[in-house]
């Protein structure tokens, strides 16, 4: 297992692709507020996670450090996840400074 996606409603899948993320973005937009979140984890030496809430709030955890970020739109959210599954963590850190 190198990556997985999980929804607040309980759905999860391992070894994900960008298509799984695109589906999650569409799904979360239609969820109620209680279940309106999903997160993706990519495991290297550490677990690297981005969680996105329905209101475009991101919680990003790399190397045990958590960052908060408000995305401008769902396209920006998708771009963060694309970088995440590509293991381009430094590029994500630069974007959220």
The domains of the chain are located at: 3-90
**The overall pTM is greater than 0.75:** yes
Exposure string for 15-27, b = 16+ CB within 10 A, e = fewer: ebeeebbeebbee
The C-alpha atoms of residue 97 and residue 95 are separated, in whole angstroms, by 6
40-94: per-residue pLDDT in tens? 999 988 899 999 999 999 999 998 899 999 999 999 999 999 999 999 999 999 9
Name the strands in the sheet holding 3-7, side by side, starting at the edge strand that comes first in the sequence. 12-14, 3-7, 37-43, 47-53, 57-62, 65-70
pLDDT of residue 31: 85
């Amino acid at each position: 297992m190198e990556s997985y996606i999980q929804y607040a409603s309980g759905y999860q899948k391992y070894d994900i692709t960008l298509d799984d993320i695109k589906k999650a973005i569409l799904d979360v937009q239609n969820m109620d507020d209680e279940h309106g979140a999903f997160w993706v984890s990519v495991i290297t030496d550490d677990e690297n996670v981005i969680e996105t809430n329905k209101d475009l709030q991101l919680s990003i955890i790399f190397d045990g450090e958590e960052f908060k970020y408000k995305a401008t739109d769902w396209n920006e959210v998708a771009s963060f996840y694309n970088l995440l599954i590509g293991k381009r963590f430094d590029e994500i850190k630069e974007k959220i400074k």
